[in-house]
Amino acid sequence: MTDGPGVRRDGSGGPLPHLGLLALVAVGLVAVNLRPGATSVGPVLAELEAGIGLSPAAAGVLSALPGLCFGALGALAVPLSRRLGLTGTILLGLVVVAAGLLLRVLTGGAVTFVLLSALALGGMAVGNVLVPAWIKRQPADRVRLMTVYGTGLTVGGASGAALAAPVAAAAGSDGWRPSLGLWGLAAVSALLVWLAVARRERGAVVPEDGGGAAGRLVRSPTAVALTAMFGVQSMNAYVQFGWLPEIYRDAGLSATVAGLLTAMLTGLGIVGGLVMPTVIDRSRTLAPWMVAFGGLAVLGYAGLFLAPATLPWLWAGLLGLSGWAFPTVIALINARSRHPRVTARLSGFVQPVGYLIGASGPFLVGLIHAWTGDWRLVLALLALGGVALTLTGLRVSRPVFVDDEMGPADPDGAPA
């Protein structure tokens, strides 16, 4: 039974409920669980090699999995949500995350561990794509929910990396198992809360599958620019997390100092997650911010090129502030679309392609460094990436909606 254009009644049929605190808790918990399954592995790779015979080649595959799974499997999220609904698909994603993370710590084989990691990352990819669209569908608190979401992503990623080694050391023999299994239990806690959300939403008015613009996203300059911006920022983030400690260590700093500088960079990202959704909601133009993001990246990489050990905290700080582009582009997926279905399609377009672009960064950096024997060419190319960040950012800073740029649907109904 319909309830006017663009909505459908299910069950007893009531308006979409204002979930209040439950929505904030649900979004916070799912966001925190979309990164640690990936970031917690690196600090215990040595223990994995000893415990399950993980070879260097398998370790390389494991390191590349997050970007590849977020890109390839994230593209499946939107078609799946048309069958199960946004909340139902997010729930399924959390089930897959919890199962993959809990089962992989019980295995004794490297191949099984990698496959279960891919399974868990696929569940995270679903959440990456669909949570912004779920937030768009809420009747209130969208800015606060996006703030919680962007901050939760950064907190979760940082916590996974920070807690892995200490928990493994405290647990003793085979300590990597409880260290990594901890995040499977965290995913179960998020799953329980989302079950409560699904119960509250039962019988609500929800958008029809046919709602929103029906044209192709590739016709939207804003959608294409968002994808490019997301890809450039993701590439910077993956390179910084994977190679920045090595750059500092090659400059003569200790492993401890290099780790602390990387942690400082990540901590600044948490602040960006708290600030940028409100900035986007209240600013007439984001152009000065986009110029700043690119300029800070150029300055940070230039400092690492010229004098990496002279003011190392300054270069890490500049790159950390430039990293505010990540919560910005995540929030813009929501802000540059009107209809929840378009938000879901936009997220399913921007993030998979962007993550695949980002995943290529660490691999290319490794090749260039091996070829040249130093970091100068790498840092020069990364500084040029700051220019690309500003140019794509200036395009998406215009207050336009992707819905208006997509054009009519193709006669054959082909999706974007």
Per residue in 166-218, pLDDT tens? 888 898 888 899 999 999 999 999 999 999 999 988 865 555 444 555 678 88
Contact 229, 389 (CB under 8 A): yes
Contact 113, 104 (CB under 8 A): yes
pLDDT band at 258 (very low <50, low <70, confident <90, very high): confident
pLDDT at 60: 73
pLDDT band at 321 (very low <50, low <70, confident <90, very high): very high
Note the CATH architecture for domain 217-405: Up-down Bundle (1.20)
- What backbone torsions phi and psi does residue 113 show, to the nearest 5 degrees? -60, -45
Contact 86, 133 (CB under 8 A): yes
- What backbone torsions phi and psi does residue 338 show, to the nearest 5 degrees? -90, -50
CA distances for 415 relative to 77, 136, 209, 217, 327, angstroms: 14, 21, 13, 9, 27
pLDDT at 3: 35
Closest CA to 63 of 414, 301, 366: 366
User: What's the mean pLDDT in 310-339?
Assistant: 92
Does residue 111 surpass a pLDDT of 70?
A: yes
User: What's the mean pLDDT in 338-350?
Assistant: 88
Q: Which residues contact 23 (CB under 8 A, 6 or more apart)?
A: 138, 141, 145, 197
Share of the chain above pLDDT 70, in %: 90
pLDDT: which is higher, 259 or 120: 120
* Rounded-to-integer distance, Cα 209 and Cα 6, Å: 8
pLDDT at 230: 94
Does residue 12 surpass a pLDDT of 60?
A: no
304 three-class SS? helix
Contact 403, 342 (CB under 8 A): yes
Name the least confident of 83-87, 221-225, 358-362.
Answer: 358-362
pLDDT at 332: 93
Q: Which residues contact 327 (CB under 8 A, 6 or more apart)?
A: 150, 151, 153, 154, 269, 272, 273, 275, 276, 277
Contact 405, 346 (CB under 8 A): no
Contact 27, 145 (CB under 8 A): yes
Residue length, the chain? 416
pLDDT band at 359 (very low <50, low <70, confident <90, very high): confident
pLDDT at 206: 55
Does residue 346 surpass a pLDDT of 60?
A: yes
pLDDT at 7: 37
DSSP secondary structure code for residue 372 in this structure = H
228 three-class SS? helix
pLDDT at 409: 57
* Rounded-to-integer distance, Cα 213 and Cα 342, Å: 7
* Residue 9: strand pairing partners: 205
373 residue type, one letter: G
* Rounded-to-integer distance, Cα 86 and Cα 90, Å: 6
Name the region of 120 (left: φ>0; alpha: ψ -120 to 50; beta: rest): alpha
- What backbone torsions phi and psi does residue 8 show, to the nearest 5 degrees? -140, 140
User: What's the mean pLDDT in 125-153?
Assistant: 89
Does residue 57 surpass a pLDDT of 80?
A: no
User: What's the mean pLDDT in 151-178?
Assistant: 87
Closest CA to 314 of 300, 296, 324: 300
Q: Which residue has the tokens 């084989």?
A: 109
Closest CA to 165 of 302, 259, 61: 259
Q: Where in the chain is the domain with CATH 1.20.1250.20?
A: 10-206, 217-405
User: What's the mean pLDDT in 67-71?
Assistant: 86
| pLDDT tens digits, 366-413 | 888 889 988 999 999 999 999 999 999 999 998 888 988 886 655 544
Note the CATH architecture for domain 10-206: Up-down Bundle (1.20)
- What backbone torsions phi and psi does residue 74 show, to the nearest 5 degrees? -60, -25
* Rounded-to-integer distance, Cα 352 and Cα 338, Å: 21
Contact 2, 8 (CB under 8 A): yes
Name the least confident of 3-12, 166-175, 217-226.
Answer: 3-12
Share of the chain above pLDDT 90, in %: 42
**DSSP class per residue in 111-151:** HHHHHHHHHHHHHHHHHHHHHHHHHHTSSS-HHHHHHHHHH
User: What's the mean pLDDT in 334-355?
Assistant: 88
